[in-house]
Amino acid sequence: MPQQILKTGKVFVPGQLPLFTYNPRSERNLESLLRTYIDDGGAILTLVGPTKTGKTVLLENVLEDPVWLEGQGLTDVDTFWTRVGSELDAYHDASRQEGASESTDTGGKLGVPGVAEGNVQMTNGTSSGSTQAAIRATGSVVRKKLESSQRVLVVDDFHFIDRAAQQEIIRAVKPMVFNGVRVIFAAISHRVHDVPEAVEDMSQRAEPLVIELWSVDELRYIAREGFKALNVVDHEEKLATVLAENSFGSPHLMQKLCRELVRQINGVFETATVAVDLSAPSDWDEFFIKQIDSHSGKWYTKLFNGPPQRGNKRDVYKLKDGRIVDGYGLILVAVASMAPALTMTRQELNAAISELVENEQPTAHQLTRFLQHMTKIAAKKLTEAAPDEEALDEESADDEATFFGVDPALEYVEDGSASTLNVADPFFAFYARWGGHLHISMATEAK
């Protein structure tokens, strides 16, 4: 049987559902655990993991026809019900008696007190003398339709929703869960406690399913299956290992690196008719630098620069390799040095900084201030200007950052000896590793 001819861009598919390189990660029992929840119900499932580590792919591969909502734009419970109703095509027929008239069909919007505005189709009939309208149903009607549909409700990027709206939504779905609806909230890793802590009496009504970063061997599986589909050969998986070790536990990033190695370096754009031995790039550093993305670069620039300065110049720190950075740059250099780790304790961060600096390192108070400032900046949209240091100091008194409408690059969580810095985006970590040197060189030249 002849081998199927496939385009390289159809085999390695960063950001899409993989058809030829899907890895169920069977040893972790993720699909089994998800199916068990679907069978059992009785709680809200919080599916958590770093961004771009396969949460959406897992859900799409296991669930059949879910009601799927994106957290972006869910500002209140009314918007939530409107979106659920739209997914269910839930409408309510309203009619009122009128005098007889000629038949007309009218399309438009109807506003009804207590009911979300929706599309309207009206028909005036001479025989019935009535006007009928289809309007979006109320929350109670939508809830009943969702319960009877037996479809799983998924809210992706739940961390995008602010805390007040999260509480409203959790209270809204709580009785539905009791009545058998399966509800899944997907979020970034360190937001695993958002659901149980947002509403009283939820600690026993929320179950976590944690998606861990991918191991090197799990990432190699993507390369192995994709190379096989394209009829290219990676002897002893040497190239796949290098790619996996630089993917920061992200299958999304691994898909991209595999695609570019095959297509960009080896010129293979579709399944080879005769097996092709893959070649390594002539310069691995140059290859990886070419894969950094501009979005992560913009975030890196914003965090590297820190808040606008007021008054005295910032303290600077000389690295052992002669480069000079301020406190914000120092933290990002430390993040790059700890690759591929995406979560680091305060102690680990201190140790990494000690290995990097030639002179005195920041005091504990200074380091905390830098980390809090960076977290507050990361909580804002990329297009928003960073507040100055004084404004950020005032914001730092808040209990925690909220990431409404933002997929954060990083977040520092203050918790005494258990304090951690979480790099939430593997693509940002990849940029810190392979693109950060450009910023540091410019900063050194400016000192």
CATH number, span 26-84+140-210: 3.40.50.300
Q: What is the pLDDT of residue 125?
A: 43
Contacts of 351 (CB under 8 A, 6+ apart): none
| Per-residue pLDDT tens listing for the chain (447 residues) | 567 999 999 999 998 999 999 999 999 999 999 999 999 999 999 998 888 889 999 999 999 999 999 998 899 999 999 999 999 987 655 444 444 444 444 433 333 333 334 443 333 444 444 444 445 556 788 999 999 999 999 999 888 888 889 989 999 998 999 999 999 999 876 555 566 555 556 656 788 899 988 999 999 999 999 999 999 999 999 999 999 999 999 999 999 999 999 999 999 999 999 999 999 999 999 999 999 999 999 999 999 999 988 767 889 999 999 999 999 999 999 999 998 888 899 999 999 999 999 988 999 999 999 999 999 999 888 888 998 888 888 875 444 555 555 677 898 988 888 999 988 889 999 999 999 988 887 766 665
Return the residue matching tokens 């297009």.
383
Beta strands in 80-174 (DSSP E): 91-97, 104-112, 115-124, 130-136, 153-156
The closest alpha carbon to 155, from 252, 79, 219, 224, belongs to: 79
Helix (H, G, I), strand (E, B) or coil at 137: coil
How many residues can be counted in the chain?
Answer: 447
The closest alpha carbon to 362, from 400, 411, 433, 314, belongs to: 314
The structure tokens listed for 104 are 């007309």
Contacts of 416 (CB under 8 A, 6+ apart): none
Contact indicator for 56, 91 with CB cutoff of 8 Å: no
pLDDT tens track for 169-187? 999 998 999 999 999 999 8
Distance CA 64, CA 80 (A): 21
pLDDT tens track for 85-136? 999 987 655 444 444 444 444 433 333 333 334 443 333 444 444 444 445 5
The structure tokens listed for 133 are 């309208």
As beta bridge partners, residue 436 has none
Q: Where in the chain is the domain with CATH 1.10.8?
A: 8-20+214-290
Residue 283 amino acid letter = D
State pTM to two decimals: 0.81
User: CATH classification of 8-20+214-290, choosing from 1.20.950, 1.10.8, 1.25.40, 1.20.1300?
Assistant: 1.10.8
Q: Where in the chain is the domain with CATH 3.40.50.300?
A: 26-84+140-210
DSSP annotation of 270: B
Distance CA 337, CA 355 (A): 10
Distance of CA 168 to the CA centre of its chain: 22
Classify residue 64 by burial, with Cβ atoms within 10 Å: 0-12, 13-18, 19+: exposed
Distance CA 298, CA 381 (A): 11
Q: How far is CA 447 from CA 32, 313, 330, 413, in A?
A: 56, 11, 15, 31
Distance CA 221, CA 258 (A): 11
